[in-house]
Structure 1
Amino acid sequence: MAEIYDLIVIGTGSVGSSTGYYAAKRGLSVLEIDSATPPHTNGSHHGETRMIRHAYGEGSSYVPLVLRAQELWNELKRDTQVDIFHQTGVLNIAPKQSSFL
């Protein structure tokens, strides 16, 4: 008998995985498909070197998005009891005339 899903996600990188995760949390039947078994090193941004920064020189419109993303990372850590996020500091270095600093 064929399975019926509410949502099929192609690609289980960070966007696909989070889409499937939050859809399943809302009660949808979800199938995630990927060419490899996550976690893997075949994605466009993988590994343990990702960072969330709360300051964006590209514009203030990013700030609410990153603050919400931070909340979601903390929620995921709390819900799964997996230590997936490690808070550290950051040092930005640029010339004095830089508009970013």
Structure 2
Amino acid sequence: MKKALILAAAAALMLPAAANAERTGEEVYKTKCFVCHASGIANAPKLGDAAAWAPRAAKGADALLATAKSGIGAMPPKGTCMDCTDVELTATIDHMLNNSK
């Protein structure tokens, strides 16, 4: 048992730093969020649609993060990124807002 734990700990330490790095907002958007936010499925605000994003941006970062975490309308909690951290979700929201002005 001890040997297995030691091997598991050693393997974890050998992981490249990138394996533990947080994803950028653009990475999360391109791998998780684009499915709905590129086409507007289920009334998702489209990336680049300033009119759709303006009232959301006015609510502030904390409110947008809370909505992303809890879900809204047809969007489930965390959208399709169940393993996203708050930092990753915030970066993704910032990415969508910055590209929708």
Between the two structures, name the one with larger relative contact order (CA 8 Å, sep ≥ 6): 2
Same-fold status (TM-score > 0.5): no
TM-score range normalised by the length of the shorter chain: under 0.3
TM-score in terms of structure 1 length: 0.25
Higher helix residue share? 2
TM-score in terms of structure 2 length: 0.25
